[in-house]
Homo-oligomer: A and B are copies of this chain.
Amino acid sequence: MDELDSAIVQALQRDARQTNRDLARQLGIAPSTCLERVRLLRARGVIRGYHAEIDPAALNRKVEAFVSIRLRPLNRDVIDRFKAALIELPEVIAVYVLAGDEDLLAHVTARDLDHLHAFLIDRLSRPREVVTFRSQIVFQSAQKRVRERLPGE
């Protein structure tokens, strides 16, 4: 994982569909070299995949929220089961198991407020393991597409 690898990783985070030749040109190396590097990065698991980023509105998702959930009893089985069940729901785009007063955090997108409300009532009010949940609507957001490498030592 030298400087060249980092540069490749950064470039592919910005645009995963650029041609191997463009990538090579931009880094000042031969296409064959570049290809081999990229293949190794994939094989090593550094590059996990390539994904298209889609406008949420085009997927009919205009409302975004974070839902903090408190589970009881808090054992491994309940956590794993509930996490797996949540991530399967179409409205849920991410689930985090946390340290702190709340146990789970679900990142949710819904069609509108009514849909979000229905989701909360149907999916979180019913299960007995959920003792409390708290929803925070997202007004604005800013995401980073390309993450640099943090200085190691």
Binding site for B on A (CB under 8 A): 1, 9, 12-17, 44-56, 58-61, 66, 83-84, 86-87, 90-100, 102, 105, 109-111, 115, 134-152
Distance in angstroms between the alpha carbons of A115 and B151 in the assembled complex: 11
Distance in angstroms between the alpha carbons of A146 and B53 in the assembled complex: 9
Distance in angstroms between the alpha carbons of A21 and B12 in the assembled complex: 21
Question: Given A50-B51, A54-B48, do A59 and B147 touch, yes or no (CB 8 Å)?
Answer: yes
Distance in angstroms between the alpha carbons of A90 and B53 in the assembled complex: 21
Tallying the copies of this chain within the complex gives: 2
Distance in angstroms between the alpha carbons of A47 and B84 in the assembled complex: 28
Distance in angstroms between the alpha carbons of A136 and B59 in the assembled complex: 30
Instruction: Name the B residues within 8 Å of A56 (CB-CB).
Output: 147
Instruction: Name the B residues within 8 Å of A45 (CB-CB).
Output: 55, 58
A82 CB → nearest B CB, Å: 11
In the complex, the answer to whether B53 meets A94 with C-beta atoms within 8 Å is no
Distance in angstroms between the alpha carbons of A45 and B59 in the assembled complex: 12
In the complex, the answer to whether B52 meets A52 with C-beta atoms within 8 Å is no
- Considering residues A1, A111, A140, which has the most beta carbons from chain B within 10 angstroms of its beta carbon? A140
Cβ-closest 7 pairs across A and B: A12-B52, A16-B50, A97-B140, A100-B136, A60-B150, A46-B58, A99-B137
